Amino acid sequence: MMLRRSGMVARVLAIALALGTTGAVLSSGSASAGIEARQAAATSATSADLQPADAPPGDGIVAGYWVDSVTRIAKLGSNLTVPRGRFDALVKSTGTLRGNLTLPAAKGYFVTFGIMPVTSTVELIPDGEATGTVKIVPGEHGLAADADVTAKILIALKDVRVDGVPLDAGPGCRTRIPASIRIKGVLGLTPEAPPTEVVSTFDMPSFSGCGVREDLDRVLSGLVSGPGNELRTTLSIRCITREVCEAG
């Protein structure tokens, strides 16, 4: 049964490589020096290594938010639900906002060619602080922050399987550059503030460092990379003031 399934995946691979657009790869053969070098260079943290970070130091209003998000991958026409994360922000009187975003890994299930199931673990790794501008405005329940914030997120793929067959994507399979995600909305600054839903669109960068025995960059990029992806984010107040937020 495994041989039959592996053969089917191999045929899908051949079609994907011929089209140069979508598909997944069953790794085989020996590793090339180039791929080994790319894997060895992948040393940055994964989302599994990340612990929630407090708001950046400094004077201002400290606000912590729960982050619930669903992203729709345009090329696949599929949704990816991200488990609840955190955004810990410092709102400055000078009109700037800085914050630390922490997002857990998500389990993805997609179907390629309309018949071939692909599963993977998707890790969302912040590339530095989220930054932007803010204006303090009256809100429904006290003060609120009219914010325009950009987060830079590296997207890594782990435990990739095609029709249940594992693919050795390696430890360094991630986007070449961070995805730039803009979050623009009015965020509450009081414990009673209602949740805020924000809809963003973003480009999915191409992938790099994918594949231990074969270079999978082109195929995985063809599968998911491109414009027009949608992110729906709900931010709910977790805490206000540094003392309360850092106490957990």
**Residue recorded with tokens 């009673």:** 192
- Residue 70 near residue 79, CB atoms below 8 Å: yes
Q: Strand (E) positions, 113-195? A: 116-126, 130-139, 142-162, 165-166, 174-175, 179-188
Tens digit of pLDDT for each residue in 211-240? 988 898 998 898 889 999 999 999 999 999
Low-confidence ranges of the chain (pLDDT < 70): 1-50, 113-114
3-state DSSP: the chain helix, strand, coil percent, rounded to 5?
15, 50, 35
Residue 221's closest CA among 51, 12, 17, 11? Answer: 17
Which of 57, 62, 95 has its CA nearest to residue 189?
62
Q: How far apart are CA 78 and CA 80, in angstroms?
A: 7
Q: What token pair was written down for 124?
A: 């969302």
Using CA atoms, how far apart are residues 172 and 160, in angstroms rounded to an integer? 13
Distances (CA, A) of 79 to 32, 35, 66: 34, 30, 20
Which residues is 118 bridged to in the sheet?
110, 162
Neighbour count for residue 166 (Cβ, 10 Å): 12
pTM: 0.78
Strand pairing class (61-73; 226-240): antiparallel
pLDDT of residue 3: 43
The closest of 210, 233, 130, 132 to 178, measured between CA atoms, is: 130
| Identity at 134, one-letter amino acid code | V
Taking only the tens place, the pLDDT of each residue in 39-79 is 333 334 444 455 777 889 999 999 999 999 999 999 888 89
pLDDT of residue 50: 56
Task: For the chain, give every domain's residue range.
Answer: 2-246
